[in-house]
Amino acid sequence: SEKWDKQLPVRVQMGKKLFHGPVDKKARLAEAKMEASAASELISKAYGRDVQVVPSLAIDGPAVPWKIMTIRGVDVYEGGRARKWITKRERALTDE
């Protein structure tokens, strides 16, 4: 989750570049992927089976002009959608 300045717009360029105002957020997307990978390794080790963690970035502050968009392998959405993103995923955790 990120708290960004609500005065600056959030936009995507060519479906591959995420910007907050004039700032390219490529490094933050890469960091989200690394965090998900590390979480996947730790959880998989703890449970003794492969558990994939999907990288995501919930943005609080500025309006996000889409529901959910995957940018460079990271699901990006407005912070208020986080609960729905978690609970409505096709590959959500099962009771098992």
How far is residue 22's CA from residue 24's CA, in Å, rounded to a whole number? 7
Domain ranges in the chain are: 2-91
Q: Is the predicted pLDDT of residue 74 greater than 70, yes or no?
A: yes
Q: What is the mean pLDDT of residues 2-20?
A: 95
pLDDT in tens, 31-52: 999 999 999 999 999 989 998 8
Give the largest Cα separation in the chain, rounded. Answer: 45
Task: Pinpoint the alpha helices (H) of 1-96.
Answer: 26-47, 82-87
The predicted pLDDT at position 43 comes to: 93
Q: Is 9 helix (H, G, I), strand (E, B) or coil?
A: coil
The predicted pLDDT at position 79 comes to: 94
Distances, alpha carbon 3 to alpha carbons 21, 39, 45, 60, 67, in Å: 14, 21, 31, 5, 17
Residues 6+ apart with CB under 8 A from 92: 86
Mean pLDDT of the chain, nearest integer: 92
